């Protein structure tokens, strides 16, 4: 299963009833059954009924809680009997990966229906996305930036839109998408529509946006305190910064870590860690903002298929990526925002499963760790690895020291300037040579007359006997 759901949900945690009790169409119930869903999660039990009634919904729901199906099932039910060929639902989401994931969920849940969908995001060609607009697929899942690109074209019109979903709204705020969201809203029809608003937290800017967008919404779990899922076993491994790679490899070789997503602070560190793991014989893929969409898709698909044991990532995948039965999450670098810790470790123990979340903490990261512990309301267990040499010195560092990086950047810039100057000098010499060639080959009285006249090489035509007639002829 890849949808955020588990068939192994304890009764006391599950929502009341079953999916049939919602009155969903039998074709959708078949899709639910194919995915082996049995009981609704709490967010599904609370959100699906008002959404089916056409009410606006404001849901404060953590990733991994089953929220994707909580908004997809009502949309699919409401649109099933509508005429095809018109886009009636738009789902806005912050990242390419999450857009692709939601579109995959739609395909799974709607496979016994005739409903269609498409994902609209950057990093891939716009041609197939344009065709989705022109065909009028039932549901579009889009990132704000690429959607705005399409809105510049006459084919991208959503005049019949009936349902709008904002998923991971607080993440879109964090990524600076709030102005883009407002621009998207200006392109949507002003007629009444249903809006479903999902966010893990409701900071003031998001609260203001909900007031602008929602009408008498059904409000769900708005005050829910953030905390890791109860099935996550958390542990901290104190270790020097330079020994983090060695410690991670040791845990992998001892099989204390299974399939794992490893979070790094920067793209550079993610690249270097993936390279070092490959050298140690640990199959690893990497995914971050500098990777092309094709590379990101291949990395995630390869990890899900088991071709890679380790997926090294930045926070671009901290939310919304669902990996079935992920065993471990490792914070290679301690996040400096507690909410990022919650979302990172939320990649495991999804929908009431269990999983482990390990955090490597160097002495300089202790302050950030204490902030995380205050946020989760407890001290996280400290562990050491028996037999691991905490005093060893690595032969090479994961990250080039800052002074060396600055020196390298300056050296590269100096080389670039030298190459640019040499290129400009060659161009100037070439132009000068061409100019001399034109001057020396020009017929008398045409190209060379003016320069010779200015240099005194030939008197003006009027000063030579009989010269005026010949001069007129030459002009």
The mean of the pLDDT values for the chain is 81
- pLDDT band at 330, cuts 50/70/90? very high
Give the count of beta carbons closer than 10 Å to the beta carbon of residue 411. Answer: 10
Residue 442: what pLDDT? 54
Q: Which of 41-55, 336-350, 404-418, 436-450 has the lowest mean pLDDT?
A: 436-450
Residue 466: what pLDDT? 44
Cα 201 from Cα 334, distance rounded (Å):
21
Half-sphere exposure of 110 (CA within 13 A, CB side): 26
Residue 230: what pLDDT? 57
- Which is more confidently placed, 225 or 147? 147
Percentage of residues of the chain with pLDDT beyond 70: 79
Distances (CA, A) of 358 to 227, 246, 252, 366: 16, 15, 12, 15
Whether the CA torsion 65, 68, 71, 77 is positive or negative: it is: negative
Give the count of beta carbons closer than 10 Å to the beta carbon of residue 133. Answer: 20
pLDDT over 50 at 20, yes or no: yes
- pLDDT band at 16, cuts 50/70/90? very low
Which range is most confident: 4-18, 71-85, 364-378, 449-463? Answer: 71-85
- Which is more confidently placed, 380 or 450? 380
The 3-state DSSP class for residue 185 equals helix
Half-sphere exposure of 153 (CA within 13 A, CB side): 13
Cα 455 from Cα 439, distance rounded (Å):
13
Percentage of residues of the chain with pLDDT beyond 90: 45
Whether the CA torsion 278, 281, 282, 283 is positive or negative: it is: positive
First to last CA, the chain: 86
Residue 207: what pLDDT? 87
CATH 3.40.50.300 placement within the chain: 19-220, 232-400
pLDDT over 80 at 343, yes or no: no
Largest Cα–Cα separation, the chain: 118
H-assigned helices in 127-266? 127-135, 144-151, 169-174, 178-187, 204-213, 244-253
Q: Which of 192-201, 336-345, 385-394 has the lowest mean pLDDT?
A: 336-345
pLDDT over 70 at 238, yes or no: yes
- Which is more confidently placed, 446 or 133? 133
The fold adopted by the segment(s) 232-400 is: Rossmann fold (3.40.50)
Pick from 69, 47, 67, 41: nearest CA to 353:
41
Pick the CATH number of 19-220 from 3.40.50.300, 3.30.70.3040, 3.90.1300.10, 3.40.920.10: 3.40.50.300
* Segment 150-154 mean pLDDT: 95
């Amino acid at each position: 299963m890849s949808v955020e759901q588990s068939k192994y949900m304890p009764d006391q945690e599950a929502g009341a009833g079953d999916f049939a009790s919602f009155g969903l169409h039998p074709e959708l119930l078949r899709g639910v059954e194919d995915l082996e869903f049995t009981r609704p999660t709490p967010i599904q039990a609370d959100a699906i009924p008002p959404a089916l009634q056409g009410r606006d919904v404001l849901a404060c729901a953590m990733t991994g809680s089953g929220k994707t199906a909580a908004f997809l099932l009502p949309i699919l039910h409401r649109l099933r009997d509508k005429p095809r060929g018109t886009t009636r639902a738009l789902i806005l989401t912050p990242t390419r990966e999450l857009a692709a994931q939601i579109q995959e969920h739609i395909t799974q849940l709607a496979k016994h229906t005739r409903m269609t969908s498409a994902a609209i995001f950057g990093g891939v060609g716009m041609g197939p996305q344009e065709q989705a607009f022109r065909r009028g697929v039932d549901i579009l899942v889009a990132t704000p930036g690429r959607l705005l690109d399409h809105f510049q074209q006459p084919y991208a019109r959503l005049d019949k839109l009936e349902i709008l979903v904002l998923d991971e709204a607080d993440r879109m705020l964090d990524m600076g998408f709030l102005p883009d969201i407002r621009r998207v809203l200006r392109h949507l029809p002003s007629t009444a529509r249903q809006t479903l608003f999902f966010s893990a937290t409701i900071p003031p800017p998001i609260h203001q946006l909900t007031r602008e967008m929602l009408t008498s919404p059904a409000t769900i779990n708005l005050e829910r305190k953030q905390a890791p899922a109860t099935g996550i076993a958390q542990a901290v491994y104190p270790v020097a910064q330079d020994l983090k790679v060695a410690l991670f490899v040791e845990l992998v070789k001892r099989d204390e870590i299974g399939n794992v997503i490893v979070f790094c602070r920067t793209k550079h560190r993610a690249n270097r860690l993936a390279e070092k793991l490959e050298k140690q014989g640990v199959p690893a893929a990497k995914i971050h903002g500098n990777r092309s969409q094709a590379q990101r898709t291949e990395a995630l698909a390869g990890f899900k298929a088991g071709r890679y044991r380790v997926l090294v990532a930045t926070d671009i995948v901290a939310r919304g990526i669902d990996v079935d039965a992920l065993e471990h999450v490792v914070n290679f670098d301690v996040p400096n925002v507690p909410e990022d810790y919650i979302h990172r470790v939320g990649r495991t123990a999804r929908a009431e499963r269990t999983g482990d979340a390990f955090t490597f903490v160097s002495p300089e990261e202790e302050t950030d760790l204490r902030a995380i512990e205050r946020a989760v309301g407890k001290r996280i267990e400290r562990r050491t690895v028996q037999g691991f040499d905490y005093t060893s010195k690595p032969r090479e560092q994961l990250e080039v020291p800052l002074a060396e990086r600055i020196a390298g950047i300056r050296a590269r810039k100096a080389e670039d300037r030298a190459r640019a100057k040499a290129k400009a000098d060659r161009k100037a010499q070439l132009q000068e040579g061409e100019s001399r060639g034109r001057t020396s080959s020009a017929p008398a009285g045409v190209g060379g007359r003016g320069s010779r006249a200015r240099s005194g090489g030939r008197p003006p035509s009027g000063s030579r006997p009989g010269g005026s007639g010949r001069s007129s002829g030459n002009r």
